[in-house]
Amino acid sequence: MDREYRIIVTERIDEAGIQYLKEHAEVDIKYDVPYEELLKIIDEYDAIIVRSVTNVSEELMKAGKKLKVVGRAGNGTDNIDLDAATRLGIIVVNTPEGNIIAAAELTIAHILAISRNLPQANYAAKQKDFRRNRFNGVELYGKTVGIIGLGRIGSLVATRLKAFGMRVIAYDPYISDERFTKFGAEKVENLDDLLRQSDFITIHTPRTPETMGMIGKEELKKVKKGVRIVNCARGGLIDEEALYEALKEGIVAAAALDVFVKEPSYEKERDEDFDNPLLNLDNVIVTPHLGASTVEAQYNVGYSVAKAVIAALNGEITPNV
């Protein structure tokens, strides 16, 4: 053990990460700990390691009198109050590259699944219902996919969809023209152009006040009838109520969602508190925030975050957010 550091881990990370932490510090694992309980015990810890659920608020960090480091095993930091961390002198480290392949591949899987009705057909066939005429799909070849946010994951999605013979267009006002060219995407100047042209839309922006609800009721009036929409980024980027209506009206033919505004517990066998009408639609397929759930990605983010947190506690230079 380096020093007498205590670290709390509030969401499941790879065993390799836990082992590394235990070699250097005292570690408490409290998956799914309720916020109020965490608030009471956080002052015992020098560092906290989270994924996307734990609300690392200003209140929590203030209560963490000894808290020096917040480690995010994964990519998005929208559950951490970064401004407050800066004010309080708390270092935030994340692992932005570790799960991007996994997230991009899940997006491709979802695009294929909604183009060919795979989950619905799988379910029917297992019930011995082989009426395949109900599951006629569409091909990706020759279709236009609109990518919103051509960052780390969006660009991986772009190059993979090019291999399917798709026309790739992208909307991202914050990147250079060279980046569009590099990933074989045609730049569109505004979101409306993307909405009007796309047969498939996939969103890969961070969750910020600007991006929340960026596809809402008005935007869904502008899409091609029969568009298919995928969200493997963050819940709420596509307004859930507006999407529900558009799916019911057949404006959106199908949607694939890995993320929701409010997500259930990842630890309970069944979470009765999760009551989202989108789950009741046959043309919606869902996964339980699986974007980073591969053996490779979990090893990458679990081990990297553990190393980064220990390095930060020991005052070593570590890339931080």
Q: Respond yes or no: is residue 234 known to be catalytic.
A: yes
Residue 92 as a binder of ligand MLT (CB under 6 A): the answer is no
**Is the separation of the CB atoms in 199 and 144 below 8 Å?**
yes
How far, in Å, CA of 138 to CA of 143, rounded? 9
Given a contact cutoff of 8 angstroms between Cβ atoms, the answer to whether 7 and 292 are in contact is: no
Minimum Å gap between C-beta 243 and ligand NAD is 17
Q: Is 141 among the residues that bind ligand NAD (CB under 6 A)? A: no
Query: Which residue out of 234, 241, 245, 249 is catalytically annotated?
Result: 234
Q: How far is the CB of 126 from ligand NAD (least distance, A)?
A: 26
Contact 170, 186 (CB under 8 A): yes
Q: Which does 51 bind (CB under 5 to 8 A by kind): ligand MLT, ligand NAD, none?
A: ligand MLT
Q: Where are the beta strands (DSSP E) in 149-305?
A: 167-171, 186-187, 200-203, 227-231, 252-257, 284-286
Give the Cα separation of 226 and 310 in Å (integer): 50
Task: Determine which one of 24, 72, 110, 289 is catalytic.
Answer: 289
- Give the bridge partners for 29, in sequence order: 9
Q: For this structure, is 189 an active site residue?
A: no
CA separation (Å) from 221 to 192, 195, 200, 224, 304?
10, 9, 15, 9, 43
Which listed option, ligand NAD, ligand MLT, none, makes contact with residue 171 (CB within 5 to 8 Å by class)? ligand NAD
Residue 82 CB, shortest distance to ligand MLT, in Å, is 14
Task: Clarify whether 316 is annotated catalytic.
Answer: no
Q: Does 211 bind ligand NAD (CB under 6 A)?
A: yes
Q: How far is the CB of 152 from ligand MLT (least distance, A)?
A: 11
CA–CA separation, 21 vs 9, rounded Å? 10
Just list the catalytic residues: 234, 263, 289
Residues making contact with ligand NAD (CB under 6 A): 75-76, 96, 99-100, 103, 148-154, 171-175, 204-207, 210-211, 214, 232-234, 258-259, 289, 291-292
